[in-house]
Amino acid sequence: MIVKIFKKLFLNIPETVKFVSNIEGKISRDKALKSILETFSRKIVLIDCFPAKKRTGQIDSKIGGYPYIEKNGLWPVCILCNVPLKFVMQLNKDDFPEFYFPHGCNLFQIFTCQNSETAEMLDESFNDQHYFWFYFKAEENFEWNINVISESDDQCYRSQYSDIPECCLNRKSMVEYPDFYNYPPKVREFIDSRYSPLVQEYIAKKFMSAWGIKIGGYPKYFDASDIPSCCCGKSKELLLQISVNPDQYRNFDDAPSTRVVDECVIICLFICRDCGVNSIEIKDTYF
């Protein structure tokens, strides 16, 4: 029956518009459903990246390129294998005040180790250990020295990471919702009793968590039970998600972030804002 409906819709555009319009109207009049959506909605900042036309500033928000390095500082290396880390992202507080910054800090960075020969890679827990984050109180007031990688490590760094495009970041404030399977059982049962499977599918696709790079909201492909808890007893909240959108991804030009994050990986940072910076935890998953 559903197959027949879909065939009819896809072969008849006016019918499709009418069908969607009817669903939208039904949803807008359903006060109970609107109450559920309002209760579980969360504000997020969706971050879009695009190739930079020129080298970005040392404290600019960015993906790829060269991050801010403290004066007389060295490029960070993996604490497990001592290989230079791969720079992923840098966020400036002026651009993203919604992000968590400890008192006195205005710059956040995240790096990753992609040394496939590291013995610890064989340990399942390594997946959650090979990301490294840093906060700085940064000022763009000194000569920027990007030659911070030692000669012995330079060849390794260049061979693995030189193809990362330098990208600028745009922001978009919006609202998102949990994926359908992450609603409490009673909410799912209520929707199931109220709507047909076809309408449920429409609701699930229209009101869902966002793919891509975002601050806040619901982590994609994480069950509610996978959200880490803080030592204070509270559940941590999503601080940052880094992933590609599989519905839009076709090649590296479509999603420059795939040069720093594998197209099948979702990186999530969690935090307890009451406990602060020491509660930050990084987890990743695959889809």
| Ramachandran category for residue 76: left, alpha or beta (phi over 0 → left; psi -120 to 50 → alpha) | beta
CA 134 to chain centre: 17
pLDDT digits (tens, 9 = 90+) for 228-266: 999 999 999 999 998 877 766 555 555 555 555 566 678
Q: What is the pLDDT of residue 121?
A: 52
Q: Give the domains, in start order, of the chain with CATH numbers.
A: 30-286 (2.30.320.10)
Q: What is the pLDDT of residue 234?
A: 94
- The token pair at 182 is 């992450």
Q: What is the pLDDT of residue 100?
A: 98
SS3 readout for 250-287: CCCCCCHHHHCCCCCEEEEEEECCCCHHHHCEEEEEEC
Whether residue 213 contacts residue 96, with contact meaning beta carbons closer than 8 Å, is answered with no
Q: What is the pLDDT of residue 251?
A: 54
Whether residue 254 contacts residue 278, with contact meaning beta carbons closer than 8 Å, is answered with no
Q: What is the pLDDT of residue 254?
A: 54
Low-confidence ranges of the chain (pLDDT < 50): 1-12, 119, 122, 126, 149-162
Q: What is the pLDDT of residue 113?
A: 79
Residue whose tokens read 């601050």: 215
Q: What is the pLDDT of residue 249?
A: 57
Rounded to a whole number of angstroms, the CA Rg of the chain reads 22
Three-state DSSP at 229 gives strand
Residues counted in the chain: 287
Q: Of 276, 283, 218, 234, nearest to 101 (Cα)?
A: 276
Give the integer Cα–Cα distance in Å for 97 and 140: 19
